Each structure stands twice: as structure tokens, then as C-alpha cells.
Amino acid sequence: MNLDGIAVRAFFGIACGLLALAIVEFIARMFRYTILRGWEPGRLLEYAVILLVFVMAILLRQIRDRLADPISPRSP
């Protein structure tokens, strides 16, 4: 596995974790409790979206590179 694939999986996993944490924090704040002091659920969601934008950019670059190289097989 190349470095791009590892980065995509790591960023996607971190983004999913941040999304889950934002949802849990939002639900906790509905009951007037907080898990993370000083971190708003919206800010966690913003960080998750930023990571997902990087994931999409890396995946689009991989697709472009694979389509540009006629010798490489189409299947992974």
C-alpha cells in the first residue's frame, strides 16, 4: 500500500472519529453537560470536513493518475 492510501485511510478515520465526537458532544450539551471543555461541536465538525476535503483531493488525484497511465490495470 502506498503513502497516499495510508493517508486517505488515516484522514478518513480521524474525520469519522471527530464526527462521532461532535455528535456525542452535541447530545451531551442538550442535557447541559459537556465532555470536551472549550470545544464546540460545530468546530469539531469543521475539522472533520476539512479532513474529508483532503481525502477527496487525494482520491481525485489517484483517479486522475490511474486514468492517465494506460499501462496500469484498472482493478486494484
Q: Take residue 33 and report the three cell numbers written for it.
A: 453537560
Residues 51, 54: Cα–Cα separation, whole Å: 5
What are the Cα distances from residue 32, in Å, to 26, 28, 29, 41, 70? 10, 7, 5, 14, 58
Using the predicted structure, report yes or no on whether residue 11 has a pLDDT greater than 90: yes
pTM of this structure: 0.80
Grid coordinates 472519529 are at which residue?
17
pLDDT tens for 41-73 read 999 999 999 999 999 999 999 889 888 877 766
